Every structure is written in C-alpha cells, then in structure tokens.
Amino acid sequence: MLKAWIQAARPAAHGMIFIPLLAGQALAFRIHGVFDWSWFFHLVLYGILYQIYVLYINDYADEELDRDNHTYWLSGGSRVIPQGKLSGQALWIGSWVILGLLLAQALYWGVGLQRPGMLALNDRRGGARVGL
C-alpha cells in the first residue's frame, strides 16, 4: 500500500520543484547575504508537500480521463487509479491530509518560529519577502 502512495506522489517529479526553490534561495542569498539551512529545509518540505497535494488532487480530478489514456507519455497521471492500487476517494482523502500538513507547517512558521508574517508571506512593512 505504501508503494502505491509513493507512486502517486511521483518522486521523479520533485526535481521540478527543488530547482526553482534552490534558485529562489540563491536569489535571497544574493540580495540579503544570508543562507539559513533551517529555512531552506522548511521551504523544501513545504514545496514537496505542496507538490504531493497537487499530484494527489490531480489524479483524483482526472480519474476518468486517466482510465481512457493509454499513451502515458506526458499524461495519464501516476496510474494508481487505473491500476487499481488506490481509489479516487483514497486520493481525495490523502490530498486533504497533505493540505492539513501544509497548514500545520504554516502555523509552525507563524507561531512556533514567532514569524506571524509568514502566514501571509509578508513582512511587517507589508512587502513580499524573498527567500522566506
């Protein structure tokens, strides 16, 4: 069962989010001259969880189309639903679990790290922050 959830999370797709997050941190370092491994870890974790949420909800939403797609090249989802490994309902519930984890991480940033602006991704002056 765990293998099916990992298949649905499409580990190979996570490079697509890691590189932009790394580039954003490089830009933040260039502007502010500071690199914090702890923040980078939280950012990468948030990016991975967000990507998994999108992948799960996408498989759920595209269930009917994915069943009819037999080319699989650039489409067709993770194939866990057509292969009978997970149901659409399970992916729907899984997406809500991941969404809850994302909310918990945002609350941790805001309350646990005493950065209330993180919840809105803004600093005290109201301007967008680069490199969280």
Taking 80 as the threshold, does the pLDDT of residue 104 lie above it? yes
Q: Write out pLDDT tens, residues 38-50.
A: 888 888 898 899 9
Phi, psi of 127 (to 5 degrees): -85, 150
User: For residue 88, what are the CA distances in angstroms to 8, 34, 61?
Assistant: 11, 44, 8
Contact between 117 and 123 under an 8 Å Cβ cutoff? The reply is yes
Taking 60 as the threshold, does the pLDDT of residue 131 lie above it? no
Taking 80 as the threshold, does the pLDDT of residue 124 lie above it? no
Q: How confident is the model at residue 59 (pLDDT cuts 50, 70, 90)?
A: confident
In this predicted structure, what is the pLDDT of residue 122?
Answer: 39
- Higher-confidence residue of 105 and 92: namely 92
* Alpha helices (H) along 1-132: 2-9, 15-32, 37-61, 63-68, 88-107
- Higher-confidence residue of 97 and 119: namely 97
Domain ranges of the chain: 2-8+36-119
Q: Cα 121 vs. chain centroid, distance in angstroms?
A: 16
Both tokens assigned to 86: 């997970």
19-23, 56-60, 70-74, 89-93: which has the minimum mean pLDDT?
70-74
- Higher-confidence residue of 15 and 76: namely 15
Both tokens assigned to 102: 């994302």
